[in-house]
A and B are shown apart, each in its own frame.
Chain A
């Protein structure tokens, strides 16, 4: 008996991607560039069939497509045209996992696809980072762009500070105590209004933003005699009247691994637990911009790594724009994000 292998069959006219589970066609798209793969990613969120033995037929597979397909669990790929960069990427993965776990076949091979995405990804090796860049290029990120121009504060040492962060970008602002890191965050949250310079978040003044665009996690949080509960803190950013608040809160708590803290009062938590809860608050809020002030101050090594893991995971999944101020060089090393140093002696 001949086994039909739909994933190897020619694509129908106009179709650019077909995905099979075994021999069953489960997804088809006529989109361009990497969009069919992002559509597939959305489809897989609600797909409740088997996720084993997934195969795909794509018109062109470069390194970018290979990165996304592997993330989606596709193990057999047939391409009309594939790049050697994609082939190398998959070969490296197969070598890492000890065997030919992922198969790539192509009707025609070229050294690399002639497009900016392929060029950008060529020297990269971190799958998460490549994926984040791809979503940024596709404008499929939760974040919005942040622009700071010639920001100067009459007190502190913020002098003519300028930087721009694209939507979904991540930035570490480093500097010693008293260099204006927290002041910068207070400007970005709209708590302070700059006298000199401009701040634009999604093209707007921070005070004119749609409510709940920004999630600010300051160092000093609830310390009152009658504290909020953990669930109340996580739900703070959810708009009044939203349906399914409990589910949103629970989902956010699961995301940061703090469901066991339900029922506790916020002030009874350790520093690390508070950070988990605060970041869960940002997730429940579906914030477009996260502003974190020294998230690892006074945390032990284990808690610091936990915070770094959660932030990295956020920067790859929800992809908000994240600005973290810190003087913790270990966190800077662990996150590996672009760092901006402020307050250096002139």
Chain B
């Protein structure tokens, strides 16, 4: 406990802790969108987009987060354009974009002489490496996410339920879809610096799965509104617990947060009334 108190007097640790709490509460909201809209392939593609963004950032000595965010946004807009009027959704386009992203990243690393290991370090993030600007961007994104979801909850439910039904209600489905995939792209870009590309799911998807298990196994109700709330609470607890454990036991925070997410999911899966 003393080590925790001591650590919390160090600026990078405080910044990291703040970022983890914000991300823990906000990112699962995007995870609900990913799972409800069946965007798992797109999420994988965005993780590869992060590698491409990282390569560009290193090659051109540009700040990492804005570049990866821009690359991810470009990729989702490309996907939206490619999947227009197609019933196959984002799957095939995501697969193609994933391969092309990695190919481009490889070319950039080769041609610019960037150390490949530096780029691959992006696979393992660190909340201690965050700057104040990163935390400000994270806070703005989190507030936007919460406000957007709160103000448009019923609209989002209609889009989740059935897009043709939503369109018949006069909802601009394409607009909300674009907003949601853009938010996911930005969240993945930011999560990469926090947890690394490989462990993004610890805050994006696992809290949602944990919340769903909790609601189902412990008979705590149904519905997507509840899923949003419980996922956010689960994400907050996971990131807080994971970060504290990392500081106390001197572990990599991304690994301990991911482990906390996994353990909580397993606990809720086995416990309960059913």
Give the interface of A toward B (CB within 8 A): 186, 189-191, 209-218, 220-222, 224-233, 235-240, 263-265, 285, 291
Q: Which of A217, A222, A230, A236 has the most CB of B within 10 A?
A: A236
B153 and A214 contacting across the interface, CB-CB below 8 Å: no
- From residue 138 to 180 of chain B, which have CB atoms closer than 8 A to chain A? 151-155, 157-158, 160-162, 164-165, 167-171
User: What does the 1/0 interface line of B226-242 toward A look like (CB < 8 Å)?
Assistant: 11000000000000000
A238 to B161, CA, bound (A): 14
> What is the chain A residue whose CB lies nearest that of B208?
A226
Q: What are 27 A-B pairs with beta-carbon distances under 8 A? A: A186-B164, A189-B168, A191-B164, A209-B170, A211-B171, A221-B161, A224-B38, A225-B35, A226-B212, A227-B222, A227-B224, A228-B161, A228-B223, A229-B225, A229-B226, A232-B157, A232-B223, A232-B224, A233-B161, A235-B154, A236-B154, A236-B165, A238-B154, A240-B151, A240-B152, A285-B169, A291-B168
- How many residue pairs bridge A and B at CB < 8 Å? 92
- Point out the residues of chain B lying under 8 angstroms from A221, CB to CB: 161-162, 165
- Point out the residues of chain B lying under 8 angstroms from A264, CB to CB: 222
User: What does the 1/0 interface line of B209-230 toward A look like (CB < 8 Å)?
Assistant: 0001000000001111111000
Chain B, interface SS category: helix
> What is the chain A residue whose CB lies nearest that of B166?
A236
B84 contacts A by Cβ under 8 Å: no
Given A222-B161, A235-B154; 9 other pairs, CB 8 A cutoff: A211-B169, A212-B169, A217-B165, A221-B162, A233-B161, A236-B154, A240-B152, A263-B221, A265-B222
Q: Which of A186, A229, A238 has the most CB of B within 10 A?
A: A229
- Point out the residues of chain A lying under 8 angstroms from B131, CB to CB: none
- Point out the residues of chain A lying under 8 angstroms from B171, CB to CB: 211
B170 and A212 contacting across the interface, CB-CB below 8 Å: yes
> What is the chain A residue whose CB lies nearest that of B35?
A226
A119 → B minimal CB distance (Å)? 38
> What is the chain B residue whose CB lies nearest that of A221?
B162
Q: A189-B164, A191-B164 are in contact. Are A229 and B169 (CB under 8 A)?
A: no
- Point out the residues of chain B lying under 8 angstroms from A236, CB to CB: 154, 157-158, 161, 165, 169
B154 and A240 contacting across the interface, CB-CB below 8 Å: yes
> What is the chain B residue whose CB lies nearest that of A223?
B162
- Point out the residues of chain B lying under 8 angstroms from A229, CB to CB: 221-226
A315 to B126, CA, bound (A): 62
- Out of A189, A215, A226, A291, name the residue touching B227 (CB < 8 Å): A226
Chain A, interface SS category: loop
- Out of B165, B208, B212, B223, name the residue touching A218 (CB < 8 Å): B165
B51 contacts A by Cβ under 8 Å: no
B110 contacts A by Cβ under 8 Å: no
A236 to B156, CA, bound (A): 9
- Point out the residues of chain B lying under 8 angstroms from A291, CB to CB: 168
A121 to B221, CA, bound (A): 51
A231 to B223, CA, bound (A): 8
- Point out the residues of chain A lying under 8 angstroms from B151, CB to CB: 240
A200 → B minimal CB distance (Å)? 16
A218 and B169 contacting across the interface, CB-CB below 8 Å: no
- Point out the residues of chain B lying under 8 angstroms from A228, CB to CB: 157, 160-161, 223-224
B234 → A minimal CB distance (Å)? 14
> What is the chain B residue whose CB lies nearest that of A211?
B170
- Point out the residues of chain A lying under 8 angstroms from B36, CB to CB: 224, 226
A232 to B227, CA, bound (A): 12
B32 contacts A by Cβ under 8 Å: yes
- Point out the residues of chain A lying under 8 angstroms from B155, CB to CB: 240
A132 to B224, CA, bound (A): 39
- Point out the residues of chain A lying under 8 angstroms from B170, CB to CB: 209-213
A189 to B169, CA, bound (A): 8
A340 to B152, CA, bound (A): 39
A230 to B161, CA, bound (A): 11
A226 and B165 contacting across the interface, CB-CB below 8 Å: no
> What is the chain A residue whose CB lies nearest that of B224?
A228
A196 to B32, CA, bound (A): 40
A291 to B158, CA, bound (A): 17
- Point out the residues of chain A lying under 8 angstroms from B225, CB to CB: 229, 232
- Point out the residues of chain B lying under 8 angstroms from A265, CB to CB: 222-223
A190 to B174, CA, bound (A): 14
B236 → A minimal CB distance (Å)? 19
Q: Which 5 A-B pairs have the closest CB atoms?
A: A211-B170, A229-B223, A189-B168, A216-B168, A265-B222
